[in-house]
């Protein structure tokens, strides 16, 4: 081949390689940089815990950032702050990456907004502006008015040691706000579906795919309406877009409910061999256990299965584990550490889309209990709920059920002493009643840590709390752990494993979190010697700073 021919071929190859490439410029501004400065951009179907398919841009001193995004086709991307993501609570927004487009983003008041973008994105921007005018602003006004009326009264009653739920007029007004909000919200959703149907846009395809991943049964009506919009207006809209395949897969996964047949799919053995999962449980009652090394609750649910597996494996029961990882070694190390006795497969970097096919979205995991004929019996992850179903499927007689849940249901928030400024509660465990007032309001500073054994951020805080306890207990500091949303056996195991020296209120479940309006853990509150709350929501160095402020005056 002569030199001219080689050059011609190279140009042809370059041209071919460039076909279908989408190049998009993204820029924006962080008007609030206290939440972080590292902006992450990734496709919406990418989980950065198991994939490196994402881009970051660092905002400058003025909060401005920019980057170039290149993909093989137009895609929906997600933007968020990496620092918020690391803290486990982040705000995000979606935007379309379109060829030769410039997307402008803004982060303000802890909210992302797409200001402008390519032609398809601007259709969504126009829709959002109309939604804001018709519905969103009114919904926000209802929330503000409810907050203005309800919260002060709730706080007043709590200070008096009273239960706000016992205030009939307050609860009536709260229900009125909720009913007004729900009515308008349902009107908004109906308008949104009608708008999608009347104004076809590729963004709608991605929105349908995202919402079809919701797992809760309360979304079934919404899913039915979405799929009606899809089948009537979008089935043949930009058929080259692979999101159609995703939607149809999610529609199939939506039907993975008890009484329906389970699906078959491929996953990888640790050696990289593809296998049909059904081949591992054929003619057996089985739990298909989806988990991940980085998902604490998943690993705990999997450990809970071990006694059931050992108890019934000789009678036709099995477990097949499937891990969601970016490296096989992480799965094998975690499985070995936890002592899983069954075979574990893996989906590496979402290559086989196992989580998507099972309707799990970006969740850490889940479980399907399958009968011998392939029928789904349950999607619960609780052993107490699974065992009776397993026994029935195996043809075994009923077995009396006892456990921690029975005792937890007997717990009640105890009456608070109106003279104390904190909310008291009582917990029953192993026949003993423990109250928060056993520790608070008794002349000591008390640091209360609301935590759970499955909560990784909670466990990260424990060494710091232990250090504070050892440093200040001789000077009048008491520390109390309150285990919430956790099985006592797991709580006690974690106390031993992490050598926690301070007292614990075990089996609090949601009693404690409801008493203090806690929506996420860890949540750490510092009480004064008289029971007054000095600080709440303490984390990391803020714990040390607050205690130094008190004890090093």
SS3 484: coil
Ranges of the chain whose pLDDT falls below 50: 1-20, 402, 415-419
Nearest one of 527, 359, 546 to 447, comparing CA atoms: 527
Which residues of 439-508 form beta strands (DSSP E)? 445-451, 477-483, 504-505
What is residue 18's predicted lDDT score, i.e. its pLDDT? 40
What is residue 255's predicted lDDT score, i.e. its pLDDT? 81
What is residue 329's predicted lDDT score, i.e. its pLDDT? 95
What is residue 504's predicted lDDT score, i.e. its pLDDT? 95
Nearest one of 448, 438, 412 to 427, comparing CA atoms: 412
CB 246 within 8 Å of CB 211: no
SS3 397: coil
Which residues of 6-151 form beta strands (DSSP E)? 22-30, 38-43, 55-58, 64-71, 75-81, 92-97, 101-108, 111-116
Quote the pTM value: 0.56
C-alpha to C-alpha distance for 392 and 398, rounded to whole angstroms: 7
C-alpha to C-alpha distance for 331 and 513, rounded to whole angstroms: 33
What is residue 17's predicted lDDT score, i.e. its pLDDT? 40
């Amino acid at each position: 081949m002569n030199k001219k021919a080689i050059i011609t071929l190279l140009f042809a190859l370059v041209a071919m390689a460039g076909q279908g490439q989408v190049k998009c410029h993204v820029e924006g501004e962080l008007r609030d940089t206290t939440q972080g400065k590292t902006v992450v951009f990734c496709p919406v179907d990418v989980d950065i815990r198991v994939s490196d398919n994402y881009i970051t841009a660092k905002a400058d001193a003025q909060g401005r950032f920019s980057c170039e995004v290149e993909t093989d086709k137009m895609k929906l991307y997600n933007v968020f702050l990496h620092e918020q993501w690391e803290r486990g609570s982040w705000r995000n927004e979606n935007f379309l990456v379109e060829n030769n487009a410039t997307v402008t983003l803004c982060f303000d008041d802890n909210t992302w907004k797409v200001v402008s973008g390519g032609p398809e994105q601007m259709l969504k921007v126009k829709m959002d502006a109309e939604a804001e005018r018709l519905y969103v602003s009114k919904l926000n006004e209802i929330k503000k008015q409810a907050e203005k009326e309800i919260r002060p009264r709730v706080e007043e009653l709590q200070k008096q040691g009273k239960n706000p739920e016992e205030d009939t007029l307050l609860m009536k007004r709260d229900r009125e706000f909720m009913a007004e909000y729900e009515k308008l919200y349902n009107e908004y959703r109906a308008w949104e579906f009608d708008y999608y149907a009347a104004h076809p846009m590729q963004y709608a395809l991605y929105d349908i795919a995202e919402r079809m991943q919701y797992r809760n049964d309360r979304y079934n009506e919404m899913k039915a309406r979405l799929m009606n919009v899809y089948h009537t207006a979008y089935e043949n809209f930009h058929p080259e877009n692979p999101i159609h395949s995703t939607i149809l897969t999610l529609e199939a996964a939506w039907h993975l409910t008890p009484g329906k047949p389970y699906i078959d799919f491929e996953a990888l053995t640790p050696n990289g061999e593809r296998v049909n999962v059904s081949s591992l449980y054929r003619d057996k009652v089985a739990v298909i256990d989806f988990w991940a090394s980085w998902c604490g609750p998943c690993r705990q649910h999997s450990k809970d299965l071990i006694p059931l597996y050992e108890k019934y494996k000789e009678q036709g029961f099995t477990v097949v584990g499937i891990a969601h990882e970016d490296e096989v070694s992480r799965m094998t190390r975690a499985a070995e550490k936890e002592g899983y006795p069954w075979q574990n497969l893996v989906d590496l970097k979402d290559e086989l889309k196992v989580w998507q096919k099972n309707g799990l979205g970006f969740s850490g995991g889940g479980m399907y209990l399958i009968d011998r004929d392939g029928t789904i019996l349950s999607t619960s992850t609780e052993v107490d709920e699974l065992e009776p179903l397993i026994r029935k499927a195996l043809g075994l007689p009923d077995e009396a059920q006892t456990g921690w849940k029975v005792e937890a249901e007997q717990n009640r928030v105890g009456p608070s002493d109106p003279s104390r400024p904190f909310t008291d509660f009582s917990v029953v465990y192993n026949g003993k009643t423990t109250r928060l007032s056993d520790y608070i309001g008794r002349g000591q500073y008390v640091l209360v840590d609301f935590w759970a054994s499955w909560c990784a951020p909670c466990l990260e805080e424990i060494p710091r709390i232990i250090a504070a306890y050892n440093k200040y207990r001789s000077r009048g500091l008491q520390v109390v752990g309150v285990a919430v949303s956790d099985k006592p056996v797991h709580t006690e195991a974690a106390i031993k494993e992490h050598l926690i020296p301070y007292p614990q209120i075990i089996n609090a479940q949601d009693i404690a979190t409801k008493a203090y309006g806690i929506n996420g853990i860890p949540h750490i509150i510092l009480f004064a010697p008289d029971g007054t709350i000095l600080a709440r929501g303490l984390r990391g160095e803020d714990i040390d700073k607050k205690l130094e402020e008190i004890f090093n005056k």
